């Protein structure tokens, strides 16, 4: 039998209203606890931003440069990421189950680079995502592509702010809790402003490190909630140094110049520790 509660002096703090703290992420305040909890495994509640390490490219590209051996090339980097963007097969085969941060699972796929890429279908069920204990499921959309209603990155579309406003807003209106898109040089702030959920930017093709850091900086300063970066990290000459420099831009607002100096310093110290 439970002990009776015999404490006489209780403190109900009747004059203190219960706190009602808004959730830190744009557009997420009315979601249920489970959704917020999973989003907090992706976005850092202190900075409100994320560095997602993306290495799902093999789902249509195969073993592309830098992803030939995910166990050797990527696993050593996962400690620096807020979350991982990957496929079901790589999660099961290569990522240690002791990893406890959020996982973003690619849930659409099908066609390879040999065919029309917009012909994607849903490739993972909700049940499977629950079994894999992931924090989010990601579907690609090819707005303006041949099969835009099925899935939405129109390779023939001009990538400007007008197109990105259309594409990101469509995703949010259809229920996405956050949207990954490409950065555009002009008026990117109008893309983030007109999308009611957070936007993270894909890194895109490999750039020299200073340019990739500038890209990340521009995006977060114009309202992006972080980056989903792949090739500019895993194809860098010093991937561990690069992801740490990207983190400094995203979470600490380091300028691109300061972040590049950090990259060079970390690269040098990594080189020395390998030599010793
Ligand atoms: C493309 O295959 C995936 O959607 C990637 O997750 C995304 O494009 C980010 O990777 P990257 O920075 O290499 O563009």
Distance, in Å, from the CA atom of 275 to the CA atom of 46, rounded to the nearest integer, reads: 37
Q: Report yes or no on 164 lying in a domain.
A: yes
d(CA 186, ligand 1 centre) in Å:
21
Mean pLDDT per block of 10 residues along the chain (276 residues) reads 72 94 96 97 98 93 93 98 97 97 88 74 89 92 71 64 95 96 97 98 97 98 98 98 98 98 96 76
Specify if 7 maps to a domain: no
Does residue 252 fall inside a structural domain?
no
pLDDT of residue 266: 98
Which residues, in sequence order, are bridge partners of residue 228? 52, 202
The confidence score (pLDDT) of residue 172 equals 96
Range of the domain at 171: 33-206+225-231
For the chain, the domain total comes to 1
Q: Residue 13 falls within a domain, yes or no?
A: no
Q: Is residue 163 part of a domain?
A: yes
Q: Is 230 in the pocket of ligand 1 (CB under 6 A)?
A: yes
For position 161, which CATH number holds?
A: 3.20.20.70
Task: Give the pLDDT score at 2.
Answer: 66
In the prediction, which pLDDT does 199 show?
A: 98
| Four-residue CA torsion sign, 95, 97, 100, 105 | positive
Residue 245 falls within a domain, yes or no?
no
- For residue 150, the model assigns a pLDDT of 56
Nearest C-alpha to atom 6 of ligand 1 is from which residue? 54
Ligand 1 mean position to 230 CA, how many Å? 6
Is residue 250 situated within a structural domain?
no
Which residue has the least CA distance to atom 8 on ligand 1? 202
> Is residue 257, in this structure, part of any structural domain at all?
no
Q: How far is the CA of 276 from the centre of ligand 1 (A)?
A: 35
Question: What are the residue numbers of the active site?
Answer: 180
């Amino acid at each position: 039998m439970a002990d009776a509660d015999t404490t006489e002096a209780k403190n109900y703090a009747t004059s203190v209203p219960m706190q009602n703290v808004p959730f830190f992420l744009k557009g997420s305040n009315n979601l249920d606890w489970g959704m917020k909890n999973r989003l907090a495994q992706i976005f850092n509640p202190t900075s409100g931003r994320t560095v997602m390490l993306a290495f799902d490219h093999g789902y249509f590209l195969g073993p592309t440069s830098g992803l030939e051996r995910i166990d050797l090339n990527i696993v050593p980097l996962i400690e620096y990421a807020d979350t991982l963007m990957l496929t079901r097969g790589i999660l099961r085969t290569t990522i240690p189950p002791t990893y406890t941060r959020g996982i973003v699972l690619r849930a659409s796929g099908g066609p390879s680079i040999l065919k029309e890429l917009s012909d994607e279908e849903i490739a993972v069920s909700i049940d499977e995502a629950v079994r894999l204990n992931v924090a989010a499921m990601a579907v690609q959309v090819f707005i303006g592509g041949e099969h835009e209603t099925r899935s939405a990155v129109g390779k023939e579309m001009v990538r400007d702010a007008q197109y990105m406003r259309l594409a990101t807003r469509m995703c949010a209106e259809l229920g996405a809790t956050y949207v990954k898109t490409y950065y555009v040089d002009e008026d990117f702030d109008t893309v983030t402003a007109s999308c009611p959920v957070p936007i993270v930017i894909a890194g895109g093709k490999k750039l020299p490190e200073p340019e990739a850091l500038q890209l990340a900086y521009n995006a977060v300063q114009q309202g992006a909630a972080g980056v989903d970066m792949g090739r500019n990290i895993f194809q860098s000459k010093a991937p561990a140094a690069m992801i740490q420099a990207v983190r400094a831009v995203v979470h600490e607002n380091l300028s691109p110049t300061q972040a590049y100096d950090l990259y060079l310093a970390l690269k040098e110290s990594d080189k020395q520790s390998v030599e010793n």
